[in-house]
Amino acid sequence: MHNHKQMKKDIILGGVGGQGILTIATTIGTAALLEGLYLKQSEVHGMSQRGGDVQAHLRISSKPIASDLIAAGKADMVISVEPMESLRYVNMLNKESGWLITSMNPFKNIPDYPTIEDLLKEIWKLPRYITIDAEKTAKDAGSIRAANIIILGAAAPFIGLKYESFEQAIRAIFAKKGDDIINMNLKALKMGFDYAQKHQ
Amino acid sequence: MNKILLLGDEAIALGAIDGGLSGVFAYPGTPSTEITEYIQASKEAKALGIKSEWSTNEKTAMETGIGMSYAGKKAMVCMKHVGLNVAADAFMNSAITGTNGGLVVVSADDPSMHSSQNEQDSRFYGKFAMIPILEPTNQQEAYNMAYYGLTLSEKFGTPVMIRVTTRLAHSRSGVERKERIPQNKMHLPGDHNQFILLPAMARKSYSGLLGKQSAFESDSETAGFNTFYDGDDKSLGIIACGLTYNYLIENFEEGKVPYPVLKIGQYPTPSAMVNSLYEAVDEILVLEEGAPLVEEMLRGLLNKGKKIRGRMEGSLPRAGELNPNLVAQALGMPVSEGYEIPSVIKGRPPVLCDGCPHIDSFEALNDAMKPFGRGHVFSDIGCYTLSALKPLESIDSCVDMGASITMAVGAAESGLSPAIAVIGDSTFTHSGMTGLLDAVVKQVAITVFILDNATVGMTGGQRSAALGRIEDICKGIGVEEAHIRVVKPLRRLHDENLAIYEEEIAYNGVSVIIPRRECVQTLSKRMKLKAFEKRNKK
Ligand SMILES: Cc1ncc(C[n+]2csc(CCOP(=O)(O)OP(=O)(O)O)c2C)c(N)n1
Ligand code: SF4
Tell me if A62 is assigned to some domain. yes
* Helices H / strands E in chain B, number of each: 20, 18
Let me know: does B53 contact B25? Beta carbons within 8 Å.
no
> Residue A69 corresponds to which amino acid?
L
Closest CA to B164 of B118, B107, B115: B107
Let me know: does A150 contact A192? Beta carbons within 8 Å.
yes
Tell me if B493 is assigned to some domain. yes
Handedness of CA B298, B302, B305, B311 (dihedral sign): positive
Number of domains in chain A: 1
pLDDT for residue A26: 94
Ligand 1 pocket member B454 (CB < 6 A): no
Handedness of CA A9, A10, A13, A14 (dihedral sign): negative
Closest CA to B100 of B147, B132, B145, B68: B68
Task: Out of A33, A70, A72, name the one closest to residue B337 (CB).
Answer: A72
Span A38-53, mean pLDDT?
84
pLDDT for residue A50: 77
**pLDDT < 70 stretches in chain B:** 1, 538
Tell me if B501 is assigned to some domain. yes
Chain centre to alpha carbon of residue B483: 35
Radius of gyration of chain B measured on its C-alpha atoms: 25
Name the residue of chain A whose CA is nearest to B354's CA: A51
Q: Say yes or no: B301 and B177 in one domain.
A: no
**Which protein residue's CA is at the shortest distance from atom 8 of ligand 2?**
B356
Cα–Cα distance, B365 to A196 (Å, whole number): 51
Chain centre to alpha carbon of residue A56: 10
Q: Say yes or no: B108 and B244 in one domain.
A: no
How high does pLDDT run on average in chain A? 94
* Helices H / strands E in chain A, number of each: 7, 6
Name the residue of chain A whose CA is nearest to B117's CA: A47
pLDDT for residue A3: 58
Confidence of residue A18 (pLDDT cuts 50, 70, 90): confident
Q: How many Cβ atoms from other residues are within 10 Å of residue A200's Cβ?
A: 13
pLDDT for residue B531: 87
Model pTM above 0.90:
yes
Task: Out of A52, A88, A122, name the one closest to residue B350 (CB).
Answer: A52
pLDDT digits (tens, 9 = 90+) for A98-133: 999 999 999 999 999 999 999 999 999 999 999 999
> Residue B429 corresponds to which amino acid?
T
pLDDT over 70 (residue A17): yes
Confidence of residue A200 (pLDDT cuts 50, 70, 90): confident
Tell me if A2 is assigned to some domain. no
Cα–Cα distance, A105 to A120 (Å, whole number): 11
Strand locations in B341-440, DSSP E? 377-378, 419-424
pLDDT for residue A59: 98
* A47 vs A197, more confident: A197
Cα–Cα distance, B460 to B115 (Å, whole number): 12
Ligand 2 pocket member B383 (CB < 6 A): yes
Cα–Cα distance, B508 to B235 (Å, whole number): 71
Tell me if B174 is assigned to some domain. yes
Ligand 1 pocket member B20 (CB < 6 A): no
Tell me if A167 is assigned to some domain. yes
Closest CA to B460 of A56, A48, A52: A48
Q: CB-based burial of residue B329 (10 Å sphere; 0-12 exposed, 13-18 middle, 19+ buried)?
A: middle
CATH code for the domain of B311: 3.40.50.920
Domain carrying residue A49: 8-104+118-199
Q: Say yes or no: B47 and B67 in one domain.
A: yes
Half-sphere exposure of B177 (CA within 13 A, CB side): 14
DSSP conformation class of B225: S
CATH code for the domain of B463: 3.40.50.970
pLDDT for residue A47: 64
Number of domains in chain B: 3
Let me know: does B135 contact B164? Beta carbons within 8 Å.
yes
Q: List CB contacts (< 8 A) between A72 and chain B.
A: 323, 325, 335-338
For residue B132, the distance in angstroms to the closest alpha carbon of chain A comes to 26
How high does pLDDT run on average in chain B? 97
CATH code for the domain of A36: 3.40.920.10
Tell me if B413 is assigned to some domain. yes
Q: Say yes or no: B248 and B211 in one domain.
A: no
Q: Say yes or no: B414 and B512 in one domain.
A: yes
Q: Say yes or no: B426 and B466 in one domain.
A: yes
**Conformational region of residue B399, where left means phi above 0, alpha means psi within -120 to 50, and beta covers everything else:** alpha
pLDDT digits (tens, 9 = 90+) for B55-109: 999 999 999 999 999 999 999 999 999 999 999 999 999 999 999 999 999 999 9
pLDDT over 90 (residue A46): no
Name the residue of chain B whose CA is nearest to A126's CA: B339
Cα–Cα distance, A165 to A172 (Å, whole number): 11
**Which secondary-structure segment (H or E) carries B222?**
helix B199-222
Counted across chains A and B, CB pairs separated by less than 8 A come out at: 160
B312 Cα: distance to centroid of ligand 1 (angstroms): 32
**Which protein residue's CA is at the shortest distance from atom 6 of ligand 2?**
B353
Tell me if B281 is assigned to some domain. yes
pLDDT for residue B299: 96
Tell me if B345 is assigned to some domain. no
A93 with B352: Cβ contact below 8 A: no
Domain carrying residue B293: 227-330
Tell me if A110 is assigned to some domain. no
Closest CA to A157 of A58, A36, A9, A1: A9
pLDDT digits (tens, 9 = 90+) for B176-228: 999 999 999 999 999 999 999 999 999 999 999 999 999 999 999 999 999 99
Q: Say yes or no: B311 and B388 in one domain.
A: no
Give per-residue burial for B19-45: e unless 16+ CB within 10 Å, then b: bbbbbbbbbbbbbbbbbbbbbbebeeb
